[in-house]
Chain A
Amino acid sequence: MSSTSQKHRDFVAEPMGEKPVMALAGIGEVYGKRLEEKGFDKAYVVLGQFLVLKKDEELFRDWLKDTCGANVKQQGDCYGCLKEWCDAFL
């Protein structure tokens, strides 16, 4: 049994389309709101940022922390979710 959450599995299972940013693993109501305020209102925008950072884990985590104040676990969840999505669909 992998250590991924249901949210993670749901996200990675299909193309993200127009899913909101709160559909990302590790991003809940609070962090989602903060991201939306910064302009990252859809999951694909966060994906864009992830890709622009060349899928670098450290940079992405730093960015997430700076942008919405996510803690280490949530940073990791979000990174893992996006990474897996990219592996599957990109």
Chain B
Amino acid sequence: MSQFVENPAHLSKSRLKSDLVAHSVELPPVKSKKEVYVGLHLQHIGQKNAVDFSSDEEDQVQDVSDKEEDTEMPDPSGLTDDDLKAALLEHGVKAGPIVASTRALYEKKLRKLLQSNGHGCLNGVEKGVLYSDSEEEEENGEEEDRELGSEGEKEETVKQSDQAQQGSSQVELCFQNGGFVYPQCFLLSSRLHARASRNREPSPKWNSGNAIESSEQSRPPCSQIPVGISRASSVDQHSGLGSGLDMPIVDTMKNQSLYYTPKASSYEWKMKLTQEPVKDTVKNMFPNTDATTTGIYATRRRPIKGAAGRPVQYAYPDTPVSPTTLEKREVERRLVPIQIQILVFLIVTCLLYLIYVCVEDNSFGPSVALLDRFYQGSDSEEGLLLQAETQDVPAPSRQE
């Protein structure tokens, strides 16, 4: 697995420096050549992986004192400010300035982290946990559910992002353990637990296959996985795993957005993707789906009625109606509908207008003609009567 181990010679001097600080190794004099840094880097970071690392290195003089601090850093109060800061950084804590007033607090924090790290290491705690050989099976149990057709590069991607702050040595540990650790990003999609529970059986076989393949890094990225992940993974694949902390920091950025995309699109995932691995058993479970080139099977969830312009394809029962709505409907039925109300209003308006016109007129002639016309359609008797009335009215008025 040498390819997973970062090659310090490829790192820049400043990168090596920061790595050394992170591992609380005393830095050589500022003007040392890069080889000095590389040697120190190899020694100390290599030391974390191999317990029985021989101590025949050249730069032994400085390392003797550092070795003791290297593995555990048990006493935070014995550390220098920089060391304390580096130690906190390893545990994923971005510490502010360590001055007189803040030092005590940060020491306390580091102690807490060291304790919790010692206890939480074996439990497979999500954030910033060392992945070791002993945890393989537990994590397999947890994370089998979460493979979404993920390949080796994805585990590396996510692992890198998770442990960027912990230092490269831990990343190497994971790589050395092989492809039995699964992507962190899929931790969020707990929904996949239920769905993927039936996949437990095929997945172990797939895991072993994956382990083999991951080392080859030959599997193409799944197309159906949100673009961000595939992009990041492919980038990682190409950039090589030996790049140490540079990539993980970049990945953290990317993968933070990745973390958001799974969250945001988890509903979509549930709908579209089950990300079944390519296996006969799986094919049997989904006989209707066509084999895709990427081997991803998707089952369509029943779409939400009328959502996003989708036509209503499924018969849904009537939505339950609240009592108040029912009451409103009842009342509305009994009241006169609006249309008829408007019509009546218009008729009344016209009548009033006519009356107004009649009243306005000084002479009765036109008004009589108007009235005649108005009553033209009615019975002749009534019209005569009216005429008689209208004639009678002016008559008495004239007489006056």
Real binding pair: yes
> Residues of A at under 8 Å CB distance from B?
49, 52-54, 56, 59, 62-63, 66
Residues on B facing A (Cβ under 8 Å): 96-97, 99, 101-102, 104-105, 108-109
In the complex, the answer to whether A52 meets B97 with C-beta atoms within 8 Å is yes
Please state if B96 and A53 are interface contacts (CB–CB under 8 Å).
yes
Distance A56 CA – B88 CA, assembled complex (angstroms) = 15
B96-A63 in contact (CB<8A): no
Interface pair B96/A56, CB less than 8 Å apart = yes
- Cα distance A54–B85 in the bound complex, in angstroms: 14
A66 neighbours in B (Cβ, 8 Å): 104-105
Within 8 Å CB of A53, what residues of B? 96, 102, 105
Nearest chain A CB to B87 CB, angstrom units: 16
Give how many A-B residue pairs fall within 8 Å (CB-CB): 24
Q: CA of A54 to CA of B94 in the docked complex: distance in angstroms? A: 10
> Which residues of A sit under 8 angstroms from B104, Cβ to Cβ?
66
A62 pairs with B108, CB closer than 8 A = yes
Tell me how far the C-beta of A32 lies from the nearest C-beta in chain B, rounded to whole angstroms.
18
Write out the residue numbers on chain A whose beta carbons fall within 8 Å of the beta carbon of B99: 52
* Nearest residue, chain A, Cβ from B97: A52
In the complex formed, the residue of B with least CB distance to A51 is: B96
**Bound-complex Cα distance A53 to B105 (A):** 9
CA gap between A63 and B107 in the complex, in Å: 12
Cβ–Cβ < 8 Å partners of A52 in chain B: 96-97, 99, 101-102
Contact status A49-B108, CB under 8 Å? no
Measured in the bound complex, the distance between the Cα atoms of B96 and A62 in whole Å is: 15
Neighbouring B residues of A49 by C-beta, 8 Å: 101-102
Q: CA of A66 to CA of B102 in the docked complex: distance in angstroms?
A: 11
Which residues on A sit within 8 Å (CB–CB) of B105? Answer: 53, 59, 62-63, 66
14 interchain pairs (CB within 8 A)?
A49-B102, A52-B96, A52-B97, A53-B96, A53-B105, A54-B96, A56-B96, A59-B96, A59-B102, A59-B105, A59-B109, A62-B108, A63-B101, A66-B105
Q: What is the predominant secondary structure among interface residues of chain B facing chain A?
A: helix
Residue numbers in A under 8 Å from B109 (CB-CB): 59, 62
Question: A53 to B104, alpha carbons, bound, how many Å?
Answer: 12
The 6 closest A-B pairs by CB, nearest first: A54-B96, A59-B105, A63-B105, A62-B105, A52-B102, A52-B97
With A and B bound together, what is the CA distance between A54 and B99 in angstroms? 12
Q: In the docked arrangement, what's the CA distance between A56 and B108, Å?
A: 15
Contacts A49-B102, A56-B96, A66-B104 aside, 6 further interface pairs with beta carbons under 8 A come to: A49-B101, A52-B99, A52-B102, A53-B96, A63-B102, A63-B105
A7 to chain B, nearest CB (A): 24
Which of chain A's residues have a CB closer than 8 A to the CB of B96?
Answer: 52-54, 56, 59
B121 CB to closest chain A CB (Å) equals 22
CA of A53 to CA of B96, assembled, Å: 6
Residues of A within 8 A of B101 (CB): 49, 52, 63
Assembly CA distance A53 to B93 (angstroms): 12
CA distance A59 to B102 in the complex (A): 9
CB contacts (< 8 Å) of B108 on chain A: these are 62
* A66 and B96 alpha carbons, distance in the complex (Å): 18
CB of A51 to closest CB in B, whole Å:
9
Chain B residues with CB under 8 Å of A54's CB are 96
A60, closest chain B residue (CB): B105
Minimum C-beta distance from A34 to chain B (A): 15
C-alpha spacing A59/B97, complex, angstroms: 12
Closest CB in chain B relative to A61 CB, distance in Å: 10
In angstroms, Cα B96 to Cα A54, docked, is: 6
* Chain A residues positioned under 8 Å from B102 (CB to CB): 49, 52-53, 59, 63
Inter-chain CA distance A63–B102, complex, in Å, is 8
A87–chain B nearest beta-carbon distance, Å: 18
Give the complex CA separation of A63 and B101 in angstroms.
Answer: 9
- Of B96, B97, B109, which is in contact with the most chain A CB atoms at under 10 Å from its CB? B96
Which of A54, A59, A62, A63 gathers the greatest number of chain B CB atoms within 10 Å? Answer: A59
* Min CB gap A35→B, angstroms: 12
Bound: A53/B102 CA distance, A: 7
